[in-house]
Structure 1
């Protein structure tokens, strides 16, 4: 099923209207449907009005209760999956202000416990030095001082021991020359220091590692409820459990090939030493 990015914002309304139409066509009241689905009547009302996003389970329960045709159920399930997917275009994020995106990410970090980051081509802001952060924003016009400050503020979450982090970085992400060689060496030293945090697992996937199918995107999974995927023109946000599970499975594949602990620190030290030698 193909879909244009702008359609993602319309699917929730379409799904709510379809739920209401199916229930009315069945001749059942909201109270009767709620009883058959073991949910409150107020929830049925909120689902039909679009005030609450219907999950895949909600859709299936209501359509079964209303004895709706299978082709309508398939249509509703597709809409539910789209409703659970959000597109955040890069141009729109820049218009709103990149510092606003930092507030959104801080909110996700506050409400999540376990984080999994797969970093294909760059080092994420949570692990970055100030110079690296500034360089990552240099291609975007404007003053980014507030965005840099908020990115640095967010790094405090790494020291919250009630949260667990796993970062997987490809060797090419670490070596990408976003900053001068001496500054990149300092960035790599910073990565090595973070491997000592008890709630942080930082793994490096060497270039000569056999990882199977080539990864296509950087992505992050928050607990087991949200997966975000970064591409050059924006960010996709997935809330459908099947999409999240797919990213968790992909992450596990890369995690099995990564080097952690002393092995990772040794590789990082070697990379930093080579950069310092080349800059002399």
Structure 2
């Protein structure tokens, strides 16, 4: 079933309303339902008010407590799976303020320990030099740029937390994308080489002649095995359904098996940096 991006929050509202209706039909108060589900009453209230997105496990616990029919359980579970997907449009993000997005990412990074990044066409902010970060925000409102640059650079501190593990897969197109002048791009590539020596950071390179299989490609990020984001040009899609996350992990693993790492990656990066400096 195709879902229009601007309607992706509608399943969340419908799910919240349906769970509330089913609770009332069962003659249970929020307090009694919470006790049956081993949840807090405030969590039940937030779920029914569409203030918190329930996991599939949460929904299944609620449905068991309400003793609904198998047909109703299947309908609600299907709706819950759709509600696990969220569209974040670029225009909406700019209206809210790009700094808000940076704070959201920082919280997600603080609560995660294993990170997987597939970078198709540009270098992510965590790996970017200040010049690259500023250039990547070139079309942002000027009043947001300075604060967002500072927050992006501040977020890079997470890379030096040795309790966290990062794997970045970059295509040749992402590494060599001419977002900044050649000399600055050479320094950006040198920065990737330096970061690849960090013990908790793996940087894999996918040269242009690497075959990544059929189908459309896009940048995506996986946080632990809980949340994933995919980034088409006009925004981002957030996946929370475990099946979607596992599909992306499987895709990432296929790409990872073809990537150059360690010394092989650094040799390739050095060649590309020198090509920038020499004008090749």
Closer/same/farther in 2, CA of residues 269 and 11 from structure 1, 3 Å limit: same
Q: Does the CA contact (< 8 Å) of 1:205 and 1:259 recur in 2?
A: yes
State the 1:34 CA deviation.
6.1
Give the Å deviation of 1:222. Answer: 0.9
Contact 1:120 1:215 in 2 (8 A): no
CA distance in 2, matches of 1:112, 1:157: 10
Aligned counterpart, 1:212: 213
5 Å matches for 1:124-273? 124-143=124-143, 144-273=145-274
How many residues of Structure 1 are paired with residues of Structure 2 in the alignment?
278
Normalised by the length of structure 1, the TM-score is: 0.89
- Which TM-score applies when normalising by structure 2? 0.89
Q: CA separation in 2, counterparts of 1:162 and 1:129?
A: 23
Give 5+ residue unaligned stretches, structure 2.
none
| Aligned residue number for residue 58 of structure 1 | 58
SS in 1 for 2:210: coil
Which position in structure 2 is the counterpart of 1:68?
68
Deviation for aligned residue 1:227: 0.6
User: Quick check: 126-135 or 52-61, which moved more?
Assistant: 52-61
Contact 2:37–2:62 (8 Å) recurs in 1 = no
Alpha carbon RMSD of aligned pairs, Å? 2.3
Per-residue CA deviation, residues 198-251 of structure 1 (Å, 9 max, x unaligned), is 110000011112322245211111111111111111111111211111111111
Matches within 5 A, 1:79-94: 79-94=79-94
8 Å contact from structure 2 (residues 87, 237) kept in 1 = yes
Aligned equivalents of 2:7 and 2:113: distance in 1?
A: 31
Tell me how far apart the structure 1 counterparts of residues 155 and 69 of structure 2 sit (CA, whole Å).
Answer: 49
SS in structure 1 at match of 2:8: helix
Q: Distance in 2 between matches of 1:40 and 1:15?
A: 18
Give the SS at the match of 1:123: coil
For residues 65-92 of structure 1, the C-alpha deviation after alignment (integer angstroms, 9 at most, x for no partner) is 5453444333312321232222211111
Q: Quote the offset at 1:38 in angstroms.
A: 5.2
* TM-aligned CA distance change 1:268 to 1:41, over 3 Å: closer
Give unpaired runs (5+ residues) of structure 1. none
Select between 171-180 and 40-49 the one with higher mean Cα deviation. Answer: 40-49
Cα distance in structure 1, aligned partners of 2:215 and 2:10: 33
1:95–1:34 CA distance, 2 compared to 1 (3 A)? closer
Moved more, 201-210 or 14-23: 14-23
| 208 and 19 in structure 1: CA distance in 2 versus 1, 3 angstrom threshold | same
Counterpart CA distance in 1 for 2:102 and 2:59 is 33
Distance 1:170 1:67, change over 3 A: same
Distance 1:85 1:204 in 2: 29
Instruction: Point out the more displaced range, 158-167 or 24-33.
Output: 24-33
C-alpha displacement of 1:184: 1.1
